[in-house]
Amino acid sequence: MTHALITGGAGFVGSHLAEKLIAAGQTVTVIDDLSTGRMSNLANLIKHPRFRFAIEDIRNTIVLDRLVSECDIIYHLAAAVGVQKIVSHPIETIEINIGGSEVVFKTAARYRKKVMLASTSEVYGKGVKFPFEEDDDSLLGPTTRSRWSYAASKAIDEFLGLAYHKEVGLPVTVFRLFNTVGPRQSGQYGMVVPRFVRWALNHQPIQVYGDGQQQRCFGNVFDVVDAISRLAEVEDAEGQVFNIGSDEEISIVGLAERVRERSDSASEISLIPYEQAYEPGFEDFRRRVPSLDKIKRVIGWRPTTALDTTIDQIISYIRENPNG
């Protein structure tokens, strides 16, 4: 029986992954300091006999050493998340992402444990070749704009994980997530879909940042955790990087319109300048779409959930959890 350790497992993606692995018969331990994760995300698992939870920072080497020694595989999802948090707290972003990953990889190497590293589409930066392929160059903005600290820190995480694979033979697989959405996601740190849904359900103005013409692809969390768990089972995926997400594109203003329609809302849609929403000089991507050819080739995975279905799931969840 596989024993999985999920760092950041009380978060949105981590909690769904924990449920997926428990349902597959695995034992799961979660470590999370609850800085962005929530105990309520794990409510379905707390009393399960194959689930354990440690409230702790992953940089606590004593605790992490014990948990890694007891597991078979590590899903490293703990990171600073959300555009608003990244812009407002760049020190925390850099220290948690890089420092946390350093501790995880050192400990994993000590016990020879496989690591599944969660990364982000942000590492592609301002690239203009679409769709993004895993071996494409990255083009990041200047260091004077803290918005890029997240992308740079996660790129370092990838370099570090792949270096451990190359230099000491540690089994490491990197997966880059593209705008994962679904039930339990919080809008607290700038996540766009839950914010839009809450505004729509309350018939408040739906605030779209910038001109609203930026294009995104929103992957359903249930599809995403299926891909992550399947990648973990494939030895040929080790030492490689994979995009995970949807390739169904929509503009942000189009997303707002779709949410308003499916919520049966009377909300108006208002455009908010970036400098008002974040900070002067804030840069955004005009388009972000993944190539999914590689993951399809290696494990035969494709997303199966349409965006409308995902929006409906989020609407239902927020109606049932208005304060969650």
Tell me the two tokens of residue 286.
């005009």
Cβ–Cβ < 8 Å for 141, 126? yes
Whether 111 is catalytic? no
Q: Which two tokens stand for residue 321?
A: 């959890």
Distance of alpha carbon 262 from its chain centroid, rounded?
25
Maximum distance among all alpha carbons in the chain? 58
Strands 172-177 and 180-181 come out as: unpaired
| DSSP helix/strand/coil, 32 | strand
Question: Active-site residue among 150, 164, 209, 278?
Answer: 150
CA distances to 57, 74, 94, 194 from 99, in Å: 11, 16, 8, 30
Cβ neighbours of residue 310 under 8 Å, at least 6 residues apart?
Answer: 181, 182, 193, 218, 220
**Residues noted as catalytic:** 150
